Structure 1
């Protein structure tokens, strides 16, 4: 089972994406990865969803999109629950595959500044998502410095000729 102190680089990067990438992109990446995965491997992912998130009890391993939805939404709401329930060999395979999925292209802004800490849960026991992991995304992106070719300050809005 996964533990943050023993995670490999793939799982750390996967965890970053689970916390910061848009939910729709995460779900699409998981669908892309789960669909061709062997049914017995998908069954292990589903079992981790059921055990860690206490969800998807009526799902079948062939219900790829609902499983992908539960993984992404469940990890956003209860950070670490799915990861801890997922067997490490399946988690590593899932993490590596999601990282290279087309939907995840360009989603690592802020990774170098991320300390690996999990988000703080609200009093109600859930991490409230603002649609894009707003408070995490804003904190991470606040550390990103954009420069022009001459080395002066810039922004993503003006980088391509916008004002």
Structure 2
């Protein structure tokens, strides 16, 4: 008989520990603490938490943060958070050595972000560097397809542009 892990509400949910890239580990092994599901954050909190996880080499966990924002935020912003989740999953697959899946998801997320801004201007919702992320994702997809090994922490994108240096006084 195959016994499945269940959460408190009886839904199937794996209790196996996971590594930083979300891969299941054998029961009893130490793993990376999972992101709690269904957390409602402000956009700024979402970006900050996802950036922290990306910088730590945990894009799988960052994707879960973006997924919470896409599912709990305003419907008008769902496409933004879904595209960011796709970039994080693309980086996850690339770091796991899945070049085809990684490149595909990186391009899918980049294409979704590169779409027109509903307001018609440069798109930088919540300070997110959309043009920079599109460039990063397309370049990483190209390198992954060319056989580059990917270190998730070293390849982590900056979600928000650094501030411009002050001009002359």
When the two structures are superposed, what TM-score results if normalisation uses the length of structure 1? Answer: 0.30
More RCO (CA 8 Å, sep 6+) = 1
When the two structures are superposed, what TM-score results if normalisation uses the length of structure 2? Answer: 0.30
